[in-house]
Amino acid sequence: MNSSEMTAKMAAGNGFIAALDQSGGSTPKALAGYGIEADAWSTEEEMYGLIHDMRSRIIRSAAFTGEKVIGAILFERTMDGTVDGKTTPQALIAKGVVPFIKIDKGLEDEANGVQLMKPMPELDALLAKSKALGVFGTKERSVINSANAEGIAAIVAQQFEIGRHVLKAGMMPMLEPEINIKSETRAECDAIMLAEIHKNLDALEDGIQVMLKLSLPVVPGTFDALTDHPKVLRVVALSGGYKRPEACVELSKNKGVIASFSRALLEDLRAPMSDAEFDASLGGAIDDIHKGSTQKVAA
């Protein structure tokens, strides 16, 4: 797939995006969920080797193809690794899956009800390396915890600022101002964030598009105007801590929104599984998430 083919697949592909980008402090938790406890490694390199083995097993699985999984988000170390002799991005492309790279370096401490992204001093080098490996786009996450208008305006502005930087590098930004699903003011957060996103979209030059990765809204259909917006290539949803059945039900209520799930995709996979068991479990999860992404129901 070349860049224009990847753009077309993201715009209209009948599937969802797998989030395989757990990093840093979330890696031990991801490994524990997979059945590998902390005593299985003694160095950071060994830990990252184990998580790469897990992701490689997912990518090479017969259940993991571009028919239903149209994209995958990678952690930098995963991108730098190989799967069966190919760079990880090229292994994905060979299966018809569009590769993305997580570029944020974690979150600042909370202020004004939000957690902004930490500085990214090596962003230009990371973008250049990623593009050279065939990566199509980026993903950058920040978090909204409460309905503070000043904080939400700042978080959306930062997302679009980084997004413009990514666009100038010739890549597609996937902006992720995540709303904490445990927030007591989720509905108000949805409304404030939506208004700020529209304000920033209006400021983009005509012909430019971004992708949006958002928490599933309290009120289904809240993001309908975004899915139809000419400056939005695709709206995708994170599971945000929901278990897969609930996440898929909520997803199915939002037309035009596809999944970009991590935990909800991987929650039933275990290291001791035989390849047949692993493929069956992963295939079942893929089928569930694909259905929620493509078969919509009335809210």
* Kind plus residue range of the DSSP H or E element containing 77: helix 76-80
* Distance set, CA 10 to CA 168, 179, 195 (Å): 19, 23, 24
Residues in the chain: 299
Told to judge if 176 belongs to the known catalytic residues of this protein, a careful annotator would answer yes
Neighbouring C-beta atoms of residue 54, cutoff 10 Å? 22
Active-site residue, from 102, 139, 176, 250: 176
Tokens of 67: 């028919």
Active-site residue, from 95, 102, 131, 213: 213
Long-range contacts of 117-122 (CB under 8 A, 24+ apart): 117/141, 117/142, 117/158, 117/162, 120/162
How far is the C-alpha of 236 from the C-alpha of 233, rounded, in Å? 10
* Distance set, CA 114 to CA 9, 107, 212, 235 (Å): 33, 10, 18, 21
Neighbouring C-beta atoms of residue 262, cutoff 10 Å? 19
* Distance set, CA 180 to CA 26, 146, 147, 243 (Å): 16, 8, 11, 15
Told to judge if 178 belongs to the known catalytic residues of this protein, a careful annotator would answer no
**Catalytic positions, please?**
176, 213
